[in-house]
Chains A and B, each alone.
Chain A
């Protein structure tokens, strides 16, 4: 929440600060700067994250790869042993991104929620592709608008960024449709990252999320909210207009601040509780924070396991 946002020292602004990133054109440039910071952080971290790990030895049998023979074990035991690895195939991840009109909101001079989520997705994609894992993208609003199936080639990053940069947010929200696309396109268990502000029906999507978890996916919800939405800092008489509807309200902000903050807090808690109940990881994304910090926090805490479950 607002109070947890680390403040930059006075007169010193991080290059990955949302306001600084907002001045960079294109999600690729933004992501590259964020990735640099994330990589520096990972170097110091004790958690190496996803990598192919040794599981057990087995006695050599004809047909086994000669290159997997453990020659050190042969020297000790005078028998041929072959190394067995836990995961032999690449990790597969899906990013499900809300492209409804409400994601187009951004406080003055900062990234919109959609741009912010796009930067995080590009950062994650770069990290995953770098270790030959596959990543795909599902964009949805009132319906699914674009699907990029998971690929592990490095030039797949270009497809992702092009898709993110050419998207215009509009329409309502139908997360269920987005998650259905994941079910349809995923051939094996993997990671699912959901980026949304959840300004829609808070019940329906979770049935689908539970279904994905049941299929063995490791699902993480990134609940993207703008700083304005979390603090409601407005002062003077304002005519508020909805972004997904034509509803309007002329009000003295100070008269409704307390009630609004109470309700937005309840909404956030509801989403978090539903996630926990559905065995879905939850991460609040406050767009005033640096995206790299959030990615790092995720990787250090709720990072994906090799099993993908």
Chain B
């Protein structure tokens, strides 16, 4: 038996209080000679014994009462037998949350995948369930799915749901335990039985348990049991995290520079051979990656003709799916940037976008390419917005209601919005933009005239920046970066009163905000308080201008977020440029299946087609009327977040479950106090038996018995 608050056990000494009081009273008892003592002693000895017994019982009950109170407050529980088979025969509702994310494709020593072990364990639980036990099966791979029709007593239906895992196993999913647990809670809330239990069966990898926000604080769940199908043992894993292809050399004989990233999630450093396959060419090199770190290896080779893409691989290990990376030669993961010109000019160098146009088109080695599209504010349509990854509103002082709503929905769904200042902004800008601006604009301020020879003396400069921010990271450590030398003559003064999610990234002299960021739903917004041309500042002619705007667009397009490097991931939607020509569109998947796609007028206007959640790793092809020559190629890889197989620590597990069960008001400490929670091997379980509620109930009975005895006397 263990205790949640063992220190409180010392309080059991309180049980001595009634005895001490009794002894003191005995000492203080007044001696009285009494003639009728025979009637007091009760000549009937049976009655005398009964009285004495009653006195002892009252004393014992009081002692027990105090000791039991301290015992209950110490929160006792009984450790489970780790090798005991789970008892699911009691009536109740059980949610089987099975992790079918990519990491569950890891091979166990017996050659079967962890998912196979998880399904076997789930089948055992279902088999041991009684006729009054209902089950629900929930897959924890993204998106989390309920595979049964809620809780069901039909074991055949549960078996069919488990069989579906085998059919879906090929798709490499990320883990979404938060959503799966949320679903489990919802399903269990429909259970008529008081016992509601959740089994989370998986590899219990740390990455799966990193929730942004914890789910199901409303769920009335009796217990959460974690079953680690790999027995808590760490598994070494090497993964290819990304490939960047750069073309160089003469056009007649281009040279490819292929940079490959490899990460080592093992406990010790590893040297591995990396193979690059490009058409019929195969080249190899070795890479040494220290434990827990990433290393890169670069291949330089002549580009083979008519090769659209290739792959990189390392020697297969326990998790084969992340040992290779497919890529395409063309621009396959560019961020579509829609730039809206709020102040177009007929003279090119006076145009608002003169400098930005050049900056976005420039391509830097190793960076995510940007695919800029241009429009004026009058031409801006919702269809164009939805076809983009990032929208830049350059000196657009006012939006129509339709545009504002379209932009709001766009950002809320994950899009990025960059707003830059200019003289188009008036008093009605705040109302027009609504919550699209990270902070509301108060006024336009001018500190100097751009053409004034003395302007440099009174102009503002960027004085401080948050170098932890992905946009500013490139300037970290560069003391003489031109960003901090640019002169700003006018700016939009904003009100930085508290707004959830908004923050200042860079400031001018005197703490005046220069670049700020906000959040709407899944998307981000940024506001640059000066212009992108030469009207309000000379930032556009500084060398820092290009990395600033490019990284801002990449950040807003979430290209800087991906731990596995640039590229499209399984399960994530993407916009693919439409191939040239006319005719019906066909999507060819890596396994060769062809899927006809319809092209809407919006797609035509935007020049892209949205592909929803591709589910296979490999090269895809989008072609018109069977014309493969002019087809657009793109590659999709698995999310490398699943490559880290480090098991979650017992402390982290405890903290998470404690947090999850604390607010449900049923059993605040369910399964929390067990120190070796993750030690439960496959075939075992770790359900604690909480004792203190029963002790408390007994305490009430003791109290009632004591009161009854005293009153009866």
Contacts and interface: CB of A to CB of B under 8 A. Distances in A.
Interface in A28-62: none
Contacts of B29: 236-239, 250
A254 interface: yes
Contacts of B31: 238-239, 241
A229 B40 CA distance: 10
Given A249-B41, A260-B40, A263-B39, A241 B30 contact: no
A255 B38 CA distance: 16
Instruction: Kindly name the residue among B28, B36, B41, B51 whose own CB sees the greatest number of chain A CB atoms within 10 A.
Output: B36
A259 interface: yes
Interface string A101-112: 111110000000
Interface string B13-40: 0000000000001101111111111111
Interface in B103-141: none
A3 interface: no
A255 B30 contact: no
Nearest to A250: B29
A240 B34 contact: yes
Contact of A264 (B28, B30, B39, B55): B39
Contacts of B51: 251, 255-256, 259
B54 interface: yes
A241 B28 contact: no
Interface in A251-273: 251-252, 254-256, 259-260, 263-264, 267
A242 B36 CA distance: 7
Nearest to B709: A255
A226 interface: yes
B35 A105 contact: yes
B167 interface: no
Contacts of B55: 251-252, 255
Nearest to A265: B39
Secondary structure class of chain B's binding surface, majority of residues: helix
Interface string B394-412: 0000000000000000000
Given A105-B35, A236-B30, A237-B28, A247 B42 contact: no
B39 A234 contact: no
A247 B28 CA distance: 19
A260 B39 contact: yes
A168 B120 CA distance: 98
Interface string B55-69: 100000000000000
B713 interface: yes
B33 A105 contact: yes
A290 interface: no
A278 to B, nearest CB: 23
Contacts of A260: 36, 39-40
Contacts of B26: 237, 250
Contacts of A22: none
Nearest to B36: A229
A212 to B, nearest CB: 26
B47 interface: yes
A243 B33 contact: yes
Given A252-B55, A255-B55, A255-B713, A241 B36 contact: no
A170 to B, nearest CB: 13
Contacts of A197: 35
Nearest to B52: A251
Contacts of A254: 713
B533 to A, nearest CB: 98
Contacts of B36: 102, 199, 229, 260, 264
Contacts of B34: 105, 228, 240-243
A89 interface: no
Given A243-B33, A254-B713, A199 B38 contact: yes
B713 A241 contact: no
Contacts of A256: 40, 51
A4 interface: no
Contacts of B42: 259, 263
Given A254-B713, A259-B42, A239 B30 contact: yes
A239 B30 CA distance: 6
Contacts of B35: 101-105, 113, 197, 199, 226, 229, 242-244
Contact of B30 (A238, A242, A263): A238
A245 interface: yes
A226 B51 CA distance: 25
Contacts of A241: 31-34, 37
Nearest to B44: A263
A198 to B, nearest CB: 11
A247 B35 CA distance: 11
Contacts of B30: 236-239
Nearest to B25: A237
Contacts of A229: 35-36
A271 B35 CA distance: 17
Given A237-B28, A238-B32, A239-B32, A259 B47 contact: yes
A234 B30 CA distance: 10
Given A255-B54, A255-B713, A259-B42, A242 B32 contact: no
Contacts of B47: 259
Contacts of A237: 25-26, 28-30
Contacts of B40: 240, 249, 251, 256, 260
Nearest to B38: A199
Contacts of A263: 39, 42
Contacts of A259: 42, 47, 51
Nearest to B47: A259
Give the most central of B29, B31, B39, B47: most A CB within 10 Å. B39
A264 B40 CA distance: 9
B471 to A, nearest CB: 82
B32 A249 contact: no
Nearest to B713: A255
Contact of B38 (A228, A242, A251): A242
A104 B25 CA distance: 28
Given A255-B54, A255-B713, A240 B32 contact: yes
Interface in A46-84: none
Nearest to B22: A237
Given A105-B33, A241-B34, A247 B39 contact: no
A178 B93 CA distance: 88
Contacts of B32: 234, 238-241
A43 B40 CA distance: 44
Which among A104, A229, A237, A254 has the greatest number of chain B C-beta atoms within 10 A?
Answer: A237
A236 to B, nearest CB: 7
B711 to A, nearest CB: 11
Interface string A208-247: 0000000000000000001011000010111111111101
26 contacts: A101-B35, A102-B35, A105-B33, A105-B34, A197-B35, A226-B35, A229-B35, A229-B36, A236-B25, A236-B28, A236-B29, A236-B30, A237-B29, A240-B34, A241-B34, A241-B37, A242-B34, A242-B35, A242-B37, A243-B37, A244-B35, A247-B37, A251-B40, A259-B42, A260-B36, A260-B39
The 4 closest A-B pairs by CB, nearest first: A102-B35, A105-B35, A242-B37, A237-B25
Given A237-B29, A260-B40, 17 more contacts: A229-B36, A234-B32, A236-B25, A237-B25, A239-B29, A239-B30, A241-B32, A242-B38, A243-B33, A243-B34, A247-B41, A249-B41, A251-B40, A254-B713, A256-B40, A259-B42, A259-B51
